[in-house]
């Protein structure tokens, strides 16, 4: 009796096993171990603070390499930046060359290659009121140049999204160099990078 039972059992298991299709997954006893249960992108789940898989970035987050600009977009902010903000990027020959490159791309079309306010667009009367960098009434400084690149001023747009902080300061050096040239001042001496 016992051996008959064994034979039936073996025959039964053969029948059972031989029916499985090897190209298909077999029975899964604990499916979670084979297939994880991830959260879908942008899915709604109660477990998250806003019941949203996509969380808001933490307050005060800034992108890598970005330095926040603390002066306000107001006449007072402009004035304070003009008086106290200075360019910390070393004034080296290499940095000035990079500044020129960016200046020629972003600024020269209006301000002119030498900063006299007579760029291509001005010559063709596409834009008016572009000042020369040696304009006495404006008396621009490193700080004010950065400020207007950051926020823009009247018909001139902002460059804060086009260039990173360092690039803006490189252009700033070049603008101050053009200003000194227009005023007939002796060129500023180059520094050596001490980093």
Instruction: Find, among 158, 156, 168, the residue nearest to 102 by Cα.
Output: 168
Give whichever of 6 and 161 is closer to ligand HEC, judged by the CB atom: 161
Residue with tokens 């789940």: 45
Candidates 1-9, 67-75, 123-131, 187-195 — which segment interacts with ligand HEC by CB under 6 A?
A: 123-131
In the set 159, 169, 173, 176, which binds ligand HEC (CB under 6 A)?
159
In the set 112, 144, 170, 173, which binds ligand HEC (CB under 6 A)?
144
In the set 85, 96, 149, 170, which binds ligand HEC (CB under 6 A)?
149
In the set 80, 127, 132, 166, which binds ligand HEC (CB under 6 A)?
127
Q: What is the 3-state secondary structure (H, E, C) of the chain?
A: CHHHHHHHHHHHHHHHHHCCCCCCCCCCCCHHHHCCCCCCCCCCCCCCCCCCCCCCCCCCCCCCCCCCCCCCCCHHHHHHHHHHCCCCCCCCHHHHHHHHHHHHHHCHHHHCCCCCCCCHHHHCCCCCCCCCCCCCCCCCCHHHHHHHHHHCECCECCCCCCCCHHHHHHHHHHHHHHHHHHCCCCCCCCCCCCC
Candidates 26-34, 54-62, 93-101, 104-112 — which segment interacts with ligand HEC by CB under 6 A?
A: 104-112
- Return d(Cα 33, Cα 13) in angstroms, integer: 26
Size of interface with ligand HEC, in residues (CB under 6 A): 22
In the set 92, 101, 131, 180, which binds ligand HEC (CB under 6 A)?
131
Question: Least CB distance from residue 146 to ligand HEC, whole Å?
Answer: 9
Q: Which two tokens stand for residue 36?
A: 């994880």
Give whichever of 90 and 153 is closer to ligand HEC, judged by the CB atom: 153
**Does residue 156 belong to the site contacting ligand HEC (CB under 6 A)?**
yes
In the set 155, 158, 190, 191, which binds ligand HEC (CB under 6 A)?
155
Q: Which residues bind ligand HEC (CB under 6 A)?
A: 106-107, 109-111, 127, 129-131, 138, 140, 144-145, 148-149, 153-156, 159, 171, 175
């Amino acid at each position: 009796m016992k051996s008959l039972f064994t034979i039936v059992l073996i025959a039964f298991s053969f029948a059972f096993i031989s029916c499985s299709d090897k190209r298909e997954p077999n029975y899964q006893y604990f499916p979670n171990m084979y297939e994880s249960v991830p959260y879908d992108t942008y899915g709604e789940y109660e477990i998250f603070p806003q019941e949203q898989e996509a969380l808001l970035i933490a307050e005060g987050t800034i992108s890598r390499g970005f330095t926040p600009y603390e002066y306000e977009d107001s006449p007072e902010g402009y004035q304070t930046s003009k008086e106290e903000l200075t360019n910390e990027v070393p004034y080296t020959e290499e940095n000035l060359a990079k500044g020129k490159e960016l200046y020629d791309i972003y600024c020269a079309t209006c301000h002119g290659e030498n900063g006299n306010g007579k760029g291509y667009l001005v010559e063709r009367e596409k834009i008016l009121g572009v000042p020369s960098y040696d304009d006495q009434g404006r008396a621009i400084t490193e700080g004010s140049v950065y400020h207007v690149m950051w926020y823009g001023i009247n018909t001139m747009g902002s460059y804060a999204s086009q260039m990173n902080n360092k690039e803006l300061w490189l252009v700033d050096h070049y603008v101050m160099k053009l200003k000194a040239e227009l005023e007939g001042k002796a060129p500023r001496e180059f520094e050596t990078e001490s980093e």
